[in-house]
Amino acid sequence: MIHNPDLELVDVRQDESFTVWSHGYPYRTVRWHFHPEYEIQLITATSGKYFVGDFIGNFEPGNLVLLGPNLPHNWVSEMAQDESVAERGLIIQFSADFIANTMRAFPKLKSLQNLLAEAQGGQLFSAAAGQLVAPIFRELLNARGFRRVRLFLSLLDCLVKDGERSQLASPGYMPDALAYMSSTFNHVLAYIGENLATDLREATLAELCKHSVSTFSRAFRKHTGMSFVQYVNRLRINVACEMLIDGDAGITDICFLVGFNNVSNFNRQFLEQKGVSPSRFRKYQELNMSSRNMTATDQAMSVPA
């Protein structure tokens, strides 16, 4: 069974329209993963198995593939455990918004529409195309300004003109980014809930997800709408409220039971989230309960015997 893919957050600088880079093997991004950006990948060293959606195939140097948004993928090189290479592949990543805006600005690029549509299931290009784009890829690594854009469009032109390209994933395969995200972060949120009283650290959760801390942090905020620390503190304060309402444990005990390591921080977080201190929150709840009990007693007394 293939597990749901991890999310990779692609880092495209604000002063760039797309990112071009290379990596070796092993490398942190070499895992079953997906991202919202298009990706062009050219393998330059090693051979092995690659996975695109529900497709499994063999790759070798010259393997050139275009991937659509949120399409899960992975390349696994067949190498000895202690062996590594400095460069395994060259990669270009760009957003759907960028390429759509480019096509609107330059109507002659309309021929890209079919290529981008076909990329939803992944496209494998001919060995000849791989050889043709290799030097363009190399130049792109260091190109700047207009030359960089011109090289990028030249590379896309090579892909469009390759009449031997073929589909990788089956026609019925549909990437489901929402399901991938939900599955991954449901496990994360469940882990947090089950270990709330422990010393939860963002680095630990990032390691469990096989993300860097910065990648995990951005993905967590995108999924929950808040930072990891904010989420954990909010959950701990909510549990503390339940304990203040339903139990007799002292405030200091509750502080440590829900995972805070000092009372002053607990009181500060509680005040920020609830607008009152823990002790006043408990008094208000006791007043609320006594008021309810009094109302129930009055109603019982008003019922005719």
Residue 214: other Cβ atoms inside 10 A: 12
**Topology classification of domain 6-167:** Jelly Rolls (2.60.120)
What is the reported pLDDT for 110?
87
pLDDT (tens digit, 9 = 90+) per residue, 212-229? 888 888 888 877 778 999
Cα 201–205–207 angle (5° rounding)? 115
pLDDT tens digit at each of 305 positions of the chain: 346 788 887 877 766 789 999 999 998 778 888 999 999 999 999 999 999 998 999 999 999 999 999 999 999 999 998 999 999 999 999 999 999 999 999 888 988 999 999 999 999 999 999 999 999 999 999 999 899 999 999 999 999 999 999 999 998 888 887 777 777 777 788 888 889 999 999 998 888 777 788 888 888 887 777 899 999 998 999 889 888 887 789 999 999 999 999 999 999 999 998 888 999 888 877 776 665 444 444 444 444 43
| The model scores a pTM over 0.85 | no
What is the reported pLDDT for 97?
92
CA dihedral of 265, 215, 33, 49, whole degrees rounded to 10: -120
Q: What class does CATH assign to 177-289? A: mainly alpha
Residue 83, CA distances (Å) to 49, 61, 183, 202 in order: 17, 17, 33, 31
Residues of CATH 1.10.10.60 domain(s) within the chain?
177-289
User: In this structure, what are the phi and psi dihedrals at residue 159, rounded to the nearest 5 degrees?
Assistant: -70, -45
Residues of CATH 2.60.120.10 domain(s) within the chain?
6-167
Residue with tokens 């363009």, as numbered in its chain = 136
Report the C-alpha gap between 64 and 164 in whole angstroms.
Answer: 12
Residue with tokens 């590594």, as numbered in its chain = 84
Report the C-alpha gap between 139 and 129 in whole angstroms.
Answer: 16
Report the C-alpha gap between 48 and 258 in whole angstroms.
Answer: 48
